[in-house]
Amino acid sequence: MSKTKRRTAVKVLNNSGDRRSAPGKPSIAWQNKDITSKYFGENLKGKSFAVYGLELPEIKEVQPTNLPAIEANELRLDHLFLLKDDSLALVDYESTYADSNKIKYLNYIVRTLKRNMEQHHFPCKIRMIVIYTADIQPQQTKERMDIGCLQFQLEEAFLIQKDSEQTEARLQARFQGNQELSAAEQMEFIILPLTCKGNEEKQACIRRCFEMAKLLEDADMQRFLLSGMLVFADKVITKEDSKQIKEWIMMTKVGQLFEEEKIQYGREIEKNVTKTNELKFSKILLHAGLSIEEISNAMTVLTADDVRKIAERMNPTPDIRKADPK
């Protein structure tokens, strides 16, 4: 790559990600992916990764992930945190494993070290953490790379070791009981979809988590949990689900209640249409001589009492009355 092209590439990256202000002006607040990352990051202080199986100090500060790069097409790492022991934790999560990923991680480390040296003029301790989704077994990975002049050590967490069904059931009970979640439970929630195997299961879990979070009365906690889930599930969530959750996060409480009313109204209409159809069908089945119990078992909305009232209004024959033991 020529010097001119290289300068252009760096300029493209800085314009799209590393938004630096002109000298003398206040710096523009960074955002990892969008506003959801801001909600998430602002509330991570004091929490830790212990619930994922990583013995690390608590998070002290969330750092920008738009690291200095030579090529414009270099991907950003998922998260960068300053921990309480003043070490930096670079966090990536993966649903597949490849030895070549270590080259990507090394790039992250070099760029993080470069920025830290530019800002503070001394090297810092850096931890490279990889969180594997439930699709990866511990025996599939290698946490260490030794190429002679360099020895590289990862800190790995395997979400397959988390019981997703048990965790979800426990959290569901907390939400339904309107109980306050501990810091560890909050961290469990935001990563819960990644403890499921396969994209379909992950996406189904995302939707269930969305419904759980709606039960919260604390709007700030709701935004934190949903934005955190969006950030961690960014690689697996569908565009439709992501859009719906983001819109919910940005709504006021009044807007959320209005949205719930619209959904409930739609359900009532659907139920009424179904009930009307079942009323007509029940009359046909009564004329055909089926018992009330047989008819009610075939219905999705009407109960046995509903069918019995229909039969009474129709002046049923003795055979129909006999068919119903009640």
DSSP assignment of 109-142: HHHHHHHHHHHHSS---EEEEEEE-TT--GGG--
pTM of the complete model beyond 0.75: no
Looking at residue 20, its pLDDT comes to: 36
Name the strand (E) or helix (H) holding 107. helix 101-120
Q: Report the C-alpha gap between 248 and 239 in whole angstroms.
A: 14
Looking at residue 212, its pLDDT comes to: 93
Amino acid at 114: K
Measured CA to CA in angstroms, residue 291 lies from 310, 314, 320 at distances of: 12, 14, 6
Looking at residue 69, its pLDDT comes to: 53
Check residue 65 and report its DSSP letter: -
Looking at residue 262, its pLDDT comes to: 54
Number of Cβ within 10 Å of residue 113's Cβ equals 15
- Nearest CA to 75 among 156, 166, 154, 13? 13
| Angle separating helix axes 199-214 and 239-250, nearest 10 degrees | 20
Contact 57, 84 (CB under 8 A): yes
Q: Report the C-alpha gap between 285 and 115 in whole angstroms.
A: 77
Looking at residue 26, its pLDDT comes to: 34
Q: What is the pLDDT along the chain (326 residues), one digit of tens a residue?
A: 444 433 333 333 333 333 333 344 333 333 334 556 666 776 788 888 888 888 888 888 877 766 655 444 444 567 888 899 989 999 888 989 999 899 889 988 888 888 888 888 778 899 999 999 999 999 999 999 888 998 889 999 999 999 999 999 999 999 988 888 999 999 999 999 999 999 999 999 999 999 999 888 888 888 889 988 988 888 888 989 988 888 888 775 544 554 555 556 556 666 666 777 777 788 887 777 788 888 878 777 778 888 888 888 876 455 544 445 44
Looking at residue 300, its pLDDT comes to: 76
Looking at residue 74, its pLDDT comes to: 46
- Find the angle CA(246)-CA(17)-CA(41) to the nearest 5 degrees: 45
Looking at residue 204, its pLDDT comes to: 95
Q: Which SS3 state, helix, strand or coil, does residue 307 take?
A: helix
Q: What Rg, from alpha-carbon coordinates, does the chain have?
A: 28
Contact 81, 63 (CB under 8 A): yes
Looking at residue 268, its pLDDT comes to: 64
